[in-house]
Structure 1
Amino acid sequence: MNPITNFIEKIDQQNLWDNKLELSRKEHLKVKGSIDTNLYFVVSGSLRIYVLDEFEENIIRFGYKNNFIASLDSFMTEKPSDLYIQAIKKTELKVIKKTTFMNLIESSVENTKIWHIMLGDLIFQQMERERDILTSSPIERYKRVLARSPKLFQEIPNKYIASYLRMTPETLSRIKKS
């Protein structure tokens, strides 16, 4: 069994979820300037994490069924973040507070190892994404993301995937057809 799946089962068995949330389509879980030290587990639905600059929204991450999602910078530093987290469609989440989560992490060597695996995976994914955006053509970005996360294309509308891949929806459509 996957260590992260094991970890989720531990949280369930110990009844550590602090809350459950339901978000409507387009409802924000977090907005720029707020502090959010919760970690969320997506039960159903999908979300996007994005930053807003002067001209456009730039999507940096997605969360969908069986994924953890957080405003990681705010989670780690306990300071305000420029990130927005918004439901793409109706979404159900389980919530665990940072203090509850960190107590679980620190309760055993095994849990600490799983946390390090989770963080390592996240860092690796972000590095791959940055490399793709900086050095790959739109077609290469599409192919690499498709290979890494085929479920993304089943869960997330094309207009958001295009933003994530730093291309127009029309370009993504042309690439998918070819």
Structure 2
Amino acid sequence: MNPLQDLLQQIQEQELWEQELELARNEYLKVSGSKDTRVYFVASGSLRAFVTDEEEEHTIRFAYSGDLVAALDSFVTEAPSPLYIQAIKKCSLKVLSKKAFLELVSASPQNMQHWQNLLLQLVYQQMEREQDLLTSSPQERYRRVLERSPRLFQEIPHRYIASYLRMTPETLSRIKKS
């Protein structure tokens, strides 16, 4: 079993979910300047995490059904963060407090190893993305993300994919046609 599935199974068996949330399309789970230390399981739907500057939104990550999502910066520091998390499609989420999650992770060396593995996967994915953004052409970024995450193109509107790839929607459209 993979680390995420093992932890999710334990959360379910121990009935640790504290509540369920429904988000409408475009509704925010978290807004910039707020603190949120909870962990969410995406039962259905999809979300995006992004930050803004004066001119535009910059999409950082996506979450789909079956994923965990959190404002990791706020989770770790317990401070407000500039991150937004928004539903792209109608979402059903299950909610777990930081305290309950960390108690589960600390309950066994295996759980701690699962958590560390999940964090290492996240760090690796971020490093790959940063490298792509810094060194790859738009065409290469598109090709690599298509290879890594074909699900992205099935579930996420192109304007958000373009933001994630740091290109305009028009550039993405041209690349897809070529």
Give TM-score, length-normalised by structure 2.
0.98
Distance 2:16 2:149 in 1: 29
Q: How does 1:1-178 map to 2 (within 5 A)?
A: 1-178=1-178
Unpaired runs of 5+ residues, structure 1, are: none
- Say whether the 8 Å CA contact 2:3–2:118 is kept in structure 1: no
One-letter amino acid of the structure 2 residue matched with residue 173 of structure 1: S
Q: CA deviation at 1:176?
A: 1.3
Distance 1:31 1:4 in 2: 26
One-letter amino acid of the structure 2 residue matched with residue 13 of structure 1: E
Q: CA deviation at 1:128?
A: 0.6
Give TM-score, length-normalised by structure 1.
0.98
Distance 2:40 2:33 in 1: 19
Matched residue count:
178
SS of 2:90's partner is strand
Note the alpha carbon deviations across 1:135-155, whole angstroms, 9 max, x for none: 100011011111111111111
SS of 2:163's partner is helix
Distance 2:19 2:115 in 1: 21
Q: CA deviation at 1:95?
A: 0.8
Give me the CA root mean square deviation. Answer: 0.7
SS of 1:151's partner is helix
Distance 2:3 2:81 in 1: 29
- Say whether the 8 Å CA contact 2:40–2:70 is kept in structure 1: yes
* Structure 1 residue runs of 4 or more that deviate by more than 2 Å after TM superposition: none
Q: CA deviation at 1:39?
A: 0.7
SS of 1:125's partner is helix
SS of 1:85's partner is strand
Distance 1:55 1:3 in 2: 39
Distance 1:105 1:123 in 2: 19
SS of 1:33's partner is coil
Q: CA deviation at 1:113?
A: 0.3
- Say whether the 8 Å CA contact 2:58–2:164 is kept in structure 1: yes
